Amino acid sequence: MCQFTGGILMKKCVIIFVVLLAVIFGTSTVYAQHGGFTGPQAFGQFQAGLTGNFGFMGPSMPITVANVVQTFPNKATAILRGYIVQQISNDRYLFRDSTGEMIIKIKNDRWWGLTVGPNDLIEIGGEVKRDKRSFMLDYFDAKNIRLAI
């Protein structure tokens, strides 16, 4: 790729190398944040991406679990307020509010550096995922998560 005999070409190669190193080390610090669930059956801390805020996800007020389970169609967006009470698998959790429980999916990069326990009231924004053959709720795919105020 680079010939080390010409002075100008050598300088270009050095500049490209320095830029590549800056990109590699710059992005590695972005993913150094940790967060995740710390309650029952927690598998450990997960790496997270950039710190994020909620954008508009649909209804501005939190919706109840019972409402989502009974009436929300596939791919509908909602904001839920409640508690993650148990980790079921690597990215599946049991979410509870005053009206019921449901399975939520939080990918490892969706924790945004936040650490949550079973006693932490949270708001999660995401999308309803239903079985295509029935109206049965498969899970709630969380896109954003934050501590409730």
Structure tokens belonging to residue 109: 């990069």
pLDDT in tens, 17-48: 766 666 665 544 444 455 677 766 644 333 33
Neighbouring CB atoms inside 10 A of 99's CB total 15
Residue 106 has pLDDT above 60, yes or no: yes
Q: What DSSP state is assigned to residue 114?
A: -
- Section 51-59 average pLDDT: 44
Q: How many CB atoms lie within 10 A of CB 95?
A: 24
pLDDT value, residue 122: 92
Measure the CA–CA gap between 115 and 24, rounded to whole angstroms: 26
Percentage of the chain modeled with pLDDT above 70: 63
Give me the helices (H) in 2-107, please: 7-30, 65-71
Residue 87: per-residue pLDDT: 93
Tokens of 72: 């929300």
pTM for this predicted structure: 0.62
Alpha-carbon distance of 117 to 29, in angstroms, equals 25
| 83-93 pLDDT, tens digit each | 999 999 999 99
- Write down all domains in the chain, each with its CATH number in brackets: 1-30 (no CATH), 35-147 (2.40.50.200)
